């Protein structure tokens, strides 16, 4: 239990982790005595499609992704902030390991978006060529509980501009 008046967890948003040698590209929060990193958020799958679009084609890697619902990420950050110091990096990820191209294709199909997703082994993700497991958390990662199918059916997409 935390007394919110006298003891507040310290969190600082620092943006995205660089992807040297095709490692992380996701959000990082600095916690007391350590850090926190999460796999890609499900909420960004539509943006990933947009960034990879050429004409009516979405060119994506066939690399695995283990996306996490933003609500699960928020819960994991709160849990980490309220826990004793980790003295190291805390990793979190989604509960399902899926190919990036297949997941984005499912989102577009659900949205009735006419763009076609194609596998492109040379496709870049945030400016970097992915290896098969670049976007997968480590073996000791804490996994969220929200499965993709539930998220797709129950979390509204952002409003169209």
Question: pLDDT tens, 56-96?
Answer: 999 999 999 999 998 998 888 888 878 887 777 788 889 99
pLDDT at 11 over 50: no
How many residues are there in the chain? Answer: 161
Of residues 113 and 81, the one with the higher pLDDT is 113
What pLDDT shows up at residue 134?
83
pLDDT at res. 13: 44
What is the value of pTM for the model shown? Answer: 0.79
Which residue has tokens 């980490």?
80
Q: What is the pLDDT of residue 27?
A: 53
54 against 7, higher pLDDT:
54
Please say whether the beta carbons of 127 and 75 come within 8 A: no
What is the Cα–Cα distance from 29 to 35, expressed in whole angstroms? 6
- Spatial contact of 46 and 117, defined as CB atoms under 8 Å apart: no
β-strands 12-16, 116-119: how paired? unpaired
Per-residue confidence band for 128, with pLDDT thresholds at 50, 70 and 90: confident
Cα–Cα distance for residue pair 62/75, rounded to 1 Å: 29
Structure tokens that stand for 145 in this block:
């509980």
Q: Exposure of 161 by Cβ count < 10 A (0-12 exposed, 13-18 middle, 19+ buried)? A: exposed
The CA–CA distances, whole Å, from 111 to 11, 131, 159 equal: 35, 28, 12
- Dump pLDDT digits (tens) for 12-56: 444 444 444 433 345 555 555 567 778 888 998 999 999 999 999
pLDDT at 135: 86
Alpha-carbon gap, residue 149 to 104, rounded angstroms: 12
Among 10-24, 41-55, 120-134, 139-153, the least confident range: 10-24
């Amino acid at each position: 239990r935390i007394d919110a008046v006298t003891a507040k967890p310290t969190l600082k948003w620092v943006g995205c982790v660089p992807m040297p040698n095709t490692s992380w590209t996701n959000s990082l929060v600095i916690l007391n005595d350590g850090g926190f990193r999460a796999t890609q958020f499900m909420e960004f799958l539509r943006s990933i499609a947009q960034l990879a679009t050429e004409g009516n084609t979405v060119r994506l890697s066939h690399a695995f992704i283990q996306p996490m619902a933003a609500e699960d990420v928020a819960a994991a950050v709160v849990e980490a902030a309220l826990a004793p110091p980790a003295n190291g990096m805390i990793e979190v990820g989604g509960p399902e390991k899926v190919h990036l191209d297949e997941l984005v294709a499912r989102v577009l199909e659900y949205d009735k978006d006419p763009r076609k997703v194609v596998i492109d082994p040379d496709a870049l993700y945030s400016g970097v060529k992915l290896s098969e497991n670049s976007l997968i958390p480590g073996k000791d990662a804490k996994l969220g509980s929200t499965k993709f199918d539930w998220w797709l059916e129950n979390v509204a997409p952002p409003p169209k501009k």
